Amino acid sequence: MMRFTRALNFGSALEAESSAVAGRFDLQGLEALLDGRSRIEFSFDGGEVNPYLVVQFFGVIDDGTGGSGIRLAELVAALSLTTDLGLGQPLEHVLRSSLIATRLAEAAGLDEEERAVVFYVSLLAFVGCSADSHETAAMFGDDIAIRAAIRDVDRVGVGFVARRIGRGSPPVRRALMVGSFVATGGRAMAEAMRGHCEVTGELALQLGLGPEVRDPLEQMFERWDGRGRPAGLRGDELAPAIRIVHIAGVVETFHHRDGVEGAIEVADARRGTQFDPALIDRFCRDAPMFLDGLGEVGTWDAVIDSQPGLRAVLSEQELDLALEAFADYADLKSPYTVGHSRGVAGLVADAARGSGLPEAEVTEVRRAALVHDIGALGVPSSIWDKPSPLSPAEWERVRLHPYLVERTLARPKQLASFAAVAALHHERLDGSGYPRGLAGPGLSPPARLLASADVCHAMSEPRPYRPALTRPEAERALRAEVLAGRLDGDAVNAVLAAAGHRVRRRAEQPAGLTRRELEVLGLLARGHTNRKMAERLGISAKTVGNHIEHIYTKLGTSTRAGACLFASRYGFVDDADVDG
């Protein structure tokens, strides 16, 4: 066993000590990850070591020169609460599933590094549900309800789909949708699953978790019996982490509803089909132990404390990058909102700085903007994408989404500080906003700026019930909100000034995309079909298809969801209406 200790920067002492294991791990990658700001301690006993997971295990111990005070484990746990919303499960379902998964991993003999992989895979596995929400809603109506229903069946077959596809549509329309599903072999659903896996795996890499976490996440819809998607892997071809996570998620649902007996019953029923038989035997033998105390203790503390080695603290820069990733994934909920949160964050930061707010408040309101729409994951996409007026019941769900932001990001306290500002983005000075109906005195300058920036940026984007407003139209609409007493005049002036001075730089096209490919990418991000893009651009549908193939190749993706993330990240989302 070799032990390393290093303060602040890598130097000759560590280089001398590490020479015995040169080539065993990526020292340069570890140095880049630490960026000279912290001390690291870890032990090495031979074999390959992933520098990202080394940092997760043994901790980047902040020296007070730039740490955010937020552990990556805490941030991912907070994100998992938003996943509960998208799955239609009770709050902390994913956290309870993670606790089951880590207990089962330990019982199965996985070592500490492998258990860390299980920890992150269990919390991130369904984050990608935002990527397939639009497509799922187009097939089934309520994307959240269908995800909840899927937990009750071993395998989603034609019968399951036929009973649920096109709900709310006329009978002829439903029959056509069922026929299309059968004729194409469920291609649309398979594409949605691929997008989910790609997006979740990409998030793992953005969080610095490496391929050890990404690869199992990309197997989320595979099955032990080989009848899963997208690759049809079977048996031991599935990573141990995903086999454990598959079991933990389902048994938690049934345990929460039907107790220990219900969890054992579903586990045994799916033994050898969806689940690894050996792991099921281990779970059923000691099910009460694995399920003990899930409803009695604070799940958050139990999950975080279950892996005491996961104490890595994010730097301020790493926290910002992680929150930007969260914003991208939340905005995938609808093609109308791709890139919205990043756009609001940039706009409100410029406005706050122009207003003379201290830099600490500029940072806080920018972070609030990045997470302000995470609660949208708790509202069905069929509501966000609805072109006609919402019903009273649908409005109630929409009015709840700012509260869900504050509720899901209530811990740790460093997140809660800017989540509280994010939850105010729909409040108005005259008390007509939601969810709390706060009036002027209850709204801080950052909250007023965020509300104005959110409205301003939304007006420049298409919505299902209107096209994007022109710059003069948006300014007139914002001024009208000030005159009506709903938005703060100074905040609106600051936002409009910031919007007027923003310059979009596109001289260097990322990934080598051509101008025409950028046009296609922007329309693709808005959900347009090849035919609609062809009509808009004055080219053939076949040419559009060729452009899309080139875009996918250059971006290294194979799904619309992956292309949407790229378009959002670099600001190439088209202002055109979303294709319904």
Q: What is the pLDDT of residues 403-423, one digit of tens each?
A: 999 988 988 888 998 999 999
How confident is the model at residue 368, as a pLDDT?
97
Residues 111 and 157 in one domain: yes
Q: What is the CATH number of the domain that holds 176?
A: 1.10.3210.10
Which DSSP state fits 420?
A: H
459 occurs within a structural domain: yes
- Going 381 to 407 to 359 to 442, the CA torsion angle's sign is positive
Last residue of one domain, picked from the residues 41, 71, 101: 71
Percent of the chain having pLDDT more than 90?
A: 44
Residues 405 and 434 in one domain: yes
How confident is the model at residue 149, as a pLDDT?
77
What token pair was written down for 42?
């870890």
| 8 pLDDT above the threshold of 70 | no
CA distance 430 to 425: 14
Cβ neighbours of residue 423 under 8 Å, at least 6 residues apart? 372, 402, 403, 405, 406, 435
577 occurs within a structural domain: no
How confident is the model at residue 101, as a pLDDT?
95
| Mean pLDDT of the residues in the chain | 81
Containing domain of residue 521, as a range?
A: 513-570
Last residue of one domain, picked from the residues 39, 54, 71: 71
How confident is the model at residue 336, as a pLDDT?
93
576 occurs within a structural domain: no
Cβ neighbours of residue 76 under 8 Å, at least 6 residues apart? 120, 123, 124, 207
| 80 pLDDT above the threshold of 60 | yes
How confident is the model at residue 117, as a pLDDT?
93
How confident is the model at residue 188, as a pLDDT?
75
Instruction: Tell me the pLDDT band of 554, cut-offs 50, 70 and 90.
Output: confident
575 occurs within a structural domain: no
Higher-pLDDT residue of 564, 508: 564
580 occurs within a structural domain: no
The alpha carbon torsion through 482, 487, 490, 491 (nearest 10 deg) reads: -140
Residues 36 and 167 in one domain: no
Residues 348 and 204 in one domain: no
Residues 488 and 380 in one domain: yes
Average pLDDT over residues 302-319: 74
| 380 pLDDT above the threshold of 80 | yes
Residues 461 and 386 in one domain: yes
Residues 175 and 261 in one domain: yes
293 occurs within a structural domain: yes
Q: What is the CATH number of the domain that holds 548?
A: 1.10.10.10
Residues 489 and 562 in one domain: no
How confident is the model at residue 311, as a pLDDT?
62
217 occurs within a structural domain: yes
The string of pLDDT tens digits covering residues 428-451 is: 999 999 999 998 888 999 999 999
Dump strand ranges (E) for 50-201: 60-62, 67-71
Last residue of one domain, picked from the residues 500, 521, 556: 500
Count up the domains in the chain and report the number: 4
What token pair was written down for 558?
């194979």
Dump strand ranges (E) for 269-332: 313-315
Class of residue 163 by CB neighbours under 10 A (exposed 0-12, middle 13-18, buried 19+): exposed
Average pLDDT over residues 313-322: 90
Residues 104 and 123 in one domain: yes
The string of pLDDT tens digits covering residues 12-61 is: 323 333 333 333 334 344 444 444 333 333 333 444 444 434 333 334 33
Residues 358 and 461 in one domain: yes
How confident is the model at residue 158, as a pLDDT?
65
The model's pTM: 0.74
Residues 305 and 341 in one domain: no
44 occurs within a structural domain: yes
Instruction: Tell me the pLDDT band of 199, cut-offs 50, 70 and 90.
Output: confident
Instruction: Tell me the pLDDT band of 299, cut-offs 50, 70 and 90.
Output: low
Residues 267 and 132 in one domain: yes
